[in-house]
């Protein structure tokens, strides 16, 4: 899917892990007429499948009604803490757009964004599949990556933020309980690295790591959004 932003500025939203928080942000912090992008981990679809789908669609309907009222366009990446049921992901709304990996958007100034969803839950050993964890949460490889200027993603390439090797120190307890965790994390980061490299983007905005961080490595500027962080991205500005 190809989208067109209405302005060269867009408000980006960090991981909320709560649909209630998204509602509060829309009510209190987003100016009328804005375009917004949520980096993922919205908190959509937790619980048993029938309840999860009904609840997620109810929240999306609420978001859409609020966005219509305030003339907001809300773009939602899917993170690793969002259900992956097609009934949710394929639902259609007038002002809320559920993004798939490989979707693109163009700013009025002509710069192109590639959207990349998915991630990996390092604490999955403490979660229940189909209730608060989904096996297909990981980022799907893209065979034909569109060239773009910017990547809006949930996860990031290996060279940014916490490298896979840092998991030994930070999540040893999870690695000991989950024998394939480290290999799966390596695969996830390799997928992100390849997609971003193939896109030739020089700017990456992402979340997932729960810190506010900026790095410039090998000609690429990467900005990590902290939990609940609101940050205005200006497509006319050079961040490096």
The domain that holds 203 is classified in CATH as: 3.60.21
Domain count along the chain = 1
Instruction: Give the pLDDT of residue 228.
Output: 98
Q: Tell me, yes or no, whether 239 lies in a domain.
A: no
Residue 170 phi/psi, 5-degree rounding, is: -85, -30
37-95: per-residue pLDDT in tens? 999 999 999 999 999 999 999 999 999 999 999 999 999 999 999 999 999 999 999 99
Q: Tell me, yes or no, whether 225 lies in a domain.
A: yes
Q: Which residues span the domain enclosing 228?
A: 2-234
Chunk the chain into consecutive blocks of 10 residues (it has 240) and report each block's average pLDDT, rounded to whole numbers. Answer: 98 98 96 98 97 98 98 98 98 98 98 98 96 96 96 98 88 94 96 98 97 96 98 94
- Between CA 213 and CA 223 the distance in angstroms is 6
Q: Tell me, yes or no, whether 118 lies in a domain.
A: yes
Q: Tell me, yes or no, whether 240 lies in a domain.
A: no
For 160, other C-beta atoms within 10 Å of its C-beta total: 25
């Amino acid at each position: 899917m190809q989208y067109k932003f209405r302005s060269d500025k867009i408000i980006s939203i960090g991981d909320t892990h709560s649909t209630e928080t998204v509602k509060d942000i829309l009510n209190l912090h987003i100016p009328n007429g804005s375009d917004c992008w949520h980096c993922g981990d919205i908190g959509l679809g937790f619980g048993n499948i029938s309840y999860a789908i009904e609840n997620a669609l109810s929240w999306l309907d609420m978001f859409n009604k609020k966005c219509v009222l305030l003339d907001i366009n809300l773009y939602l990446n899917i993170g690793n803490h969002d259900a992956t049921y097609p009934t949710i992901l394929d639902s259609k709304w007038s002002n809320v757009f559920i993004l798939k990996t490989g979707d693109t958007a163009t700013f009025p100034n002509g710069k192109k964004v590639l959207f990349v969803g998915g991630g990996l839950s390092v604490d999955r050993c403490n979660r229940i599949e189909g209730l608060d964890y989904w096996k297909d949460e990981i980022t799907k490889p893209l065979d034909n990556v569109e060239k773009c200027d910017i990547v809006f993603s949930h996860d990031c390439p290996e060279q940014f933020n916490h490298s896979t090797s840092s998991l030994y120190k930070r999540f040893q307890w999870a690695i000991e309980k989950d024998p394939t965790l480290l290999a799966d994390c390596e695969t996830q980061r390799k997928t992100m690295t390849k997609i971003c490299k193939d896109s030739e983007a020089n700017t990456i905005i992402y979340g997932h790591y729960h810190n506010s961080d900026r790095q410039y490595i090998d000609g690429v500027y990467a900005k990590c959004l902290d939990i609940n962080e609101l940050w205005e991205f200006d497509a006319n500005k050079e961040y490096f």
